[in-house]
Structure 1
Amino acid sequence: MSETATGDGAGRMTVRRMGFAYPAAMSGHWNRRRPEFSQIVNAASLAMPYLEPYLIKTMREARPRIRDAALQATLDEYVAQEAMHFRQHRKFNDELKARGYKSIGAIEDQLAEDYRRLGATRSLEFNLAYAEGFESMALAIGQMLIADRRFLFGDSESGVASLVLWHFVEEIEHKNVAYDVFEHLAGNYFRRIYGLLYATAHIMWRTRGGYQALLKEDGLWRDWRSRVALGLLLLRIFAQLTPKMLRIMVPFYNPRQVKDPAWALSWARLFKTDNAGAGRLDTARLDAPEPVALSAGETK
């Protein structure tokens, strides 16, 4: 693993080249205690190789219109981080396919068409609002995942937990970029809220369809115990997520107001001292205030 240090004026963004290991024996239920959460995350991951290139394309289309050199540079750094994200998720998604899930192809085709259509038929202003809406939602999700990391990822496969937590640490790092570009070029409160609601509804709808298909393949969708577990899990997630989403809808919201979790800052420090270790977190010790890496050669 390696890194390229960049910044938003304060040197807070870093483009990291990560490596994650997925054991050959790993099933789609990489968190065996929480198969329903595994499939929610798997379904969300399937969107990344289509959503994030769409975000990159939107930002690149916006770039020539920006008259602020610092904002242009920050946009470039955001693009570099997002490019790393979708490449890593594509690798993970290929691992899921190799484990025999037949529904993945149709899910990916639908996602590819969704983002092709949005990019081709909607205005730049709409696409910037969607990008800002997604990034605001991702910031809220990242805070929720980190705060509840022990429950959601405890004792799960290190490679997958490390992938997801790395991704959302970087979502927190670049939390203000899409907002700044949107405000610079298309800033309007009602357009921003429309973008937030549209992006949130679209992504959650496609994610639900994805995890439903995957759980059907597992034989769990019609298992009442699994459905109860899924319902309780979703209640837990949305109980934490809803206040964070409502905060975004305040007229004078700015992502800079959202404090970075201490654990996310500690993860960034771990990467600087042990960049390989940041990709193999010890999921038995996620309740520690700082991330702990597995020893070299140790697997989880």
Structure 2
Amino acid sequence: MKVRLPGFDFSSIRPHWAPVREFAQSYNAFSTVPAHIEPFLVKVMMRVKDALGDEHQALREDIEIFNKQEVQHCKQHVAFNKMLYKSGYAGMQELEKPYRDDYASFLANKSLRFNVAYCEGFEAMGSSAGQVFFEELEEYLEGADQEAVDLWKWHLAEEFEHREVCFQAYKALYGSGPFAYLYRIWAFAFAVKHIGSHTAKVAAYLNGVDRESMTAEERGRSIERQKVLKAKISKASRTRLLKVLSPFYNPGKMVPSPGMAELLARFG
């Protein structure tokens, strides 16, 4: 792992950065997640680092790099999201507020076990999302704005790169016995529902704004394109995420998707 500092320029990018606008809006909705979850991740992992003993020095060093990577993810997506606000989608911010507040509540009121397990759930989702983006979505990326594609490929490749940090942190603090396993699975399901319900609301808003200016026929085609996209991503994700449920799940054994190493090398 290493910290990379990409210099993305979103000044000329458009919200519909891919030929299939519903695809672009789906990932635009996803972009609200790192803007709020990454600061939460960093704060949780700082607490984890303090709780780990000297026997986990290597993991503590990995957490340092992990946190610095997450800070960059947040910074870049916040900048990207500001472009969306200025482009007619300012209503996103109202949907983001309760989501942001949830993380403040988790930090204030939930146990460290819950927060670490939730973070691991998100990281499991992130590594799966990286595989899907690199391996399954070429038809949607053809003709897309390269700056937006690079943002997502860089981010998701780094998510895959640091995929086992939260997993190892949870294991170091809480072990890998039956209760630790069941709690990890419960927290994973909680994270999937929590994050998924938020992004669904934002995607519905974004597509809703777009469809206000469409004819009935155009809206019908848009809805159909969205259904096809959702089915494709759901099927590709389900195959990978089911592996998280295994008591033998170990993200460190996962193999990077073709193109991830080359992409990361471009950014240092």
Matched to 2:16, the amino acid is H
Matches of 2:144 and 2:73, distance apart in 1: 21
| Structure 1 unaligned regions, length at least 5 | 1-12, 273-300
Which of 244, 248, 265 matches 2:244? 248
Q: Contact 1:130 / 1:196 at 8 angstroms: preserved in 2?
A: yes
| Structure 1 runs (4+) greater than 4 angstroms displaced | none
Match for residue 169 of structure 1 among 149, 157, 176: 157
Letter in 2 for 1:119: L
Q: For residue 235 of structure 2, what is the amino acid of its counterpart?
A: A
1:42 pairs, out of 5, 15, 28, with 28
Long gaps (5+) in structure 2: none
Partner SS state of residue 115, structure 1: helix
Partners of 1:46 and 1:266 in 2: CA distance: 26
- Equivalent residues of 1:145, 1:152 under 8 A apart: no
Q: Which residue of 2 aligns with 1:63?
A: 49
**Which is helix-richer, 1 or 2?**
2
C-alpha separation between the residues in 2 aligned to 1:102 and 1:236? Answer: 29
Q: CA RMSD in A?
A: 1.5
Shift of 1:23: 4.7
Deviations 1:22-69 (A, max 9, x none): 353x431111x2111111111111121211101111101111111111
The answer to whether the 8 A contact 2:154-2:264 is kept is no
Q: CA deviation at 1:107?
A: 1.7
Tell me, in whole angstroms, the C-alpha distance in 1 between the residues paired with 2:139 and 2:193.
25
Distance 1:137 1:154 in 2: 24
Q: Which residue of the other structure, out of 1, 10, 14, is the alignment partner of 1:27? A: 14
Q: Which moved more, 1:151-160 or 1:86-95?
A: 151-160
Q: What pairs up with 1:213-292 in 2 under 5 angstroms? A: 213-219=205-211, 223-272=219-268
CA-CA distance at 1:152 after TM superposition: 2.7
Give the Cα–Cα distance (whole angstroms) in 1 for the partners of residues 256 and 123 of structure 2: 15
Which amino acid is 1:241 matched to? S
Distance 1:113 1:244, change over 3 A: same
Identity among equivalent positions (%) equals: 30
Q: CA deviation at 1:151?
A: 1.7
**SS in structure 2 opposite 1:99?**
helix
The DSSP-based 3-state class of the residue aligned with 2:4 is strand
What is the correspondence of 1:146-157 to structure 2 with a 5 Å cutoff? 146-157=134-145
Q: What is residue 109 of structure 1 aligned with on the other side?
A: 97
Code of the aligned partner of 1:65: A
Within-5 A mapping of 1:180-199: 180-187=168-175, 188-199=180-191
What is the CA–CA distance in structure 1 between the aligned matches of 2:197 and 2:101, rounded to whole Å?
Answer: 15
Task: Give the whole-Å Cα distance in 2 for the aligned partners of 1:253 and 1:89.
Answer: 30
> What SS class does the counterpart of residue 116 from structure 1 fall into?
helix
Please point out which of 49, 52, 63 is paired with 2:38. 52
Q: Contact between 2:136 and 2:236, CA under 8 Å: does it hold in 1?
A: no
Q: Give the TM-score taking structure 1 as reference length.
A: 0.83
TM normalised by structure 2 equals: 0.92
How far 1:154 sits from its partner (Å)?
Answer: 1.5
Moved more, 171-180 or 99-108: 99-108
Contact 1:137/1:200, CA 8 A, preserved across alignment? yes
Mapped to 2, the partners of 1:268 and 1:29 lie a distance apart of: 25
Q: Is the contact made by 2:10 and 2:79 (CA closer than 8 Å) also made in structure 1? A: no
Give the whole-Å Cα distance in 2 for the aligned partners of 1:166 and 1:86. 13
